[in-house]
Structure 1
Amino acid sequence: MSLKWTDVQDIAIELAECKPETDPRYVNFVDLRQWVVALPEFDDDPQHGGEKVLEAIQTAWIEEAR
C-alpha cells in the first residue's frame, strides 16, 4: 500500500504505530512533515505537504492516540 498526502487517517495510524512514545499534540509541523515523508509506504511529492494537510494529519493522530 502506498500512502499519499490525502491518506490522512492512514498516515496518522502509521505514525501512532511507529512513534508510540510521541505525544502528537506537541509535534511541530517541521518534524511531522519529515516523519511522514520518511514512512516506508509514503509515495507522494514531499512538496505537496502543506500546513492544512499537516494539521489534518496531526488532528487524526491525536484522535488515534486517545
Structure 2
Amino acid sequence: MRWTDVNDIAIELEEAYPHVDVVNLRFTDLHKWVLALPGFADDPNRSNEKILEAIQAAWIEERA
C-alpha cells in the first residue's frame, strides 16, 4: 500500500484499531498507525495533512 491507497488504508486501520475515536484522533497517531500497517510500503515523508485528512474521512466512512 501507498499513501494514495486511502480506502485500503482505512479498511486496514478499522481492522487494526476498531475502538479508536476516528473523529477526534491526532494526525501524529494516524501517521504512526499507517506506517505500522502490514503491507504499507511508502516513504513516511510523502504524507501530508491533506492525505491524512483523506484517510481519516475514508476511515469514518468505513465505520459508518
- TM-score class, shorter-chain normalisation, is over 0.9
Counterpart of 2:6 in structure 1 is 8
Deviation of 1:53 after TM superposition, in Å, equals: 0.3
1:26 CA drift (Å): 1.1
Match of 1:20 in 2: 18
TM-score (normalizing by structure 1): 0.94
Given the two structures, how large is their TM-score scaled by the length of structure 2? 0.97
Contiguous gaps of at least 5 residues in structure 2:
none
CA RMSD of aligned residues (A): 0.5
Match of 1:50 among 29, 32, 48: 48
| Aligned residues between the structures | 64
Instruction: Report runs of 4+ in structure 1 exceeding 4 Å deviation.
Output: none
Shift of residue 15, structure 1, vs aligned partner: 0.2
Query: Which of residues 32, 36, 39 in structure 1 aligns to 2:37?
Result: 39
Partner Cα separation in structure 2 for residue 65 and residue 27 of structure 1? 14
Shift of 1:52: 0.3
